[in-house]
Amino acid sequence: MFDFLKGYDLLAAFWVTVQLTFYSAVGSLIWGTVLAAMRVSPVPLMRGFGTAYVNVVRNIPLTVVIVFTSLGLFQTLGVTLGAADFTTINFRLAVLGLTAYTSSFVCEALRSGINTVPVGQTEAARAIGLNFPQVLRLIVLPQAFRSVVGPLASVLIALTKNTTVAAAIGVAEAAALMRVMIENEAQLILISAIFAFGFICLTLPTGLFLGWVSKKVSVRR
């Protein structure tokens, strides 16, 4: 029944999905944190930038963002992100697009976490002479992160599935292979089921693990 799978490298395709997810997750965690810091900063210009960024980027369809990285950044502006061959260029562009998009969601999750940190924590930190970056880095963000592990897990799961959009600019991840297989094989339902199962294998453990982490690190008050 599974004979038709011969000749297709499913593992390699899913491996690209995993890599896309990993690099984009790391990137959007960093950029999202920077954005959140901007949105709560005392500098109006930074606050304005953070707010504008989030409200623009999260309202653009991901497909548009990803296609723009290829058509706009690469083909029009010649941005290659330090790579020479198309495969690598497209991969990096996809990571860039996914990061730009996902970080707006990370920012908002984190900002809601920042709002759960009682104002007294900030006041006490300021009262011992910590400056704004220190207050954020040492007191507010550690507590905020602990309270949003759950929401961030949802963002990560969404990101994992969103990597399929990278197929639009020719990244050979799982969804790209699925499209090829559906074209060539008369096994529509089975192929869909296999890929659905593959994604569940990636996301379900992630969700369960982070749910456990969330309980483990929660701050007792």
Partner 1 sequence: MSGVAVTKEIPAPATGDLVVLSNVNKHFGELHVLQNIDLRIARGEVVVVIGPSGGGKSTLCRAINRLETIDSGEIVIDGKPLPAEGRELAALRADVGMVFQSFNLFAHKTVLHNVTLGQVKVRKKEKKAADDRARRLLDRVGVASQAEKYPAQLSGGQQQRVAIARALAMDPKIMLFDEPTSALDPEMINEVLEVMRQLALDGMTMVVVTHEMGFARSAANRVVFMADGRIVEETTPAQFFSDPSSERAKDFLSKILHH
Among residues 58 and 146, whose Cβ is nearest to partner 1?
Answer: 146
Site residues, partner 1 (CB under 8 A): 42, 118, 120-121, 123-131, 134, 138-139, 142-143, 146, 219-221
CB-nearer residue toward partner 1: 19 or 112? 112
Token reading at 32: 């999202």
Q: How far is the CB of 128 from partner 1 (least distance, A)?
A: 4
| Cα–Cα distance, 181 to 123 (Å, whole number) | 59
> Helices (DSSP H) in 117-187: which residue ranges?
119-127, 132-134, 141-147, 149-162, 174-184
Terminal-to-terminal C-alpha distance of the chain: 56
Cα torsion 114, 155, 37, 144 to 10°: value is 30
Judged by beta carbon, residue 9 or residue 123, the one nearer partner 1 is 123
* Residue written as token pair 């899913």: 14
Closest CB to partner 1 among residues 44, 120 = 120
The nearest distance, CB 145 to partner 1, in angstroms, is: 10
Give dist(CA 119, CA 96) in Å, integer: 35
CB 17 within 8 A of CB 163: yes
Shortest distance in whole angstroms from residue 137 CB to partner 1: 10
Nearer to partner 1, 6 or 216 (CB): 216
To the nearest whole angstrom, how small is the minimum distance from the Cβ of residue 131 to partner 1? 5
> Least Å distance between CB 119 and partner 1?
9
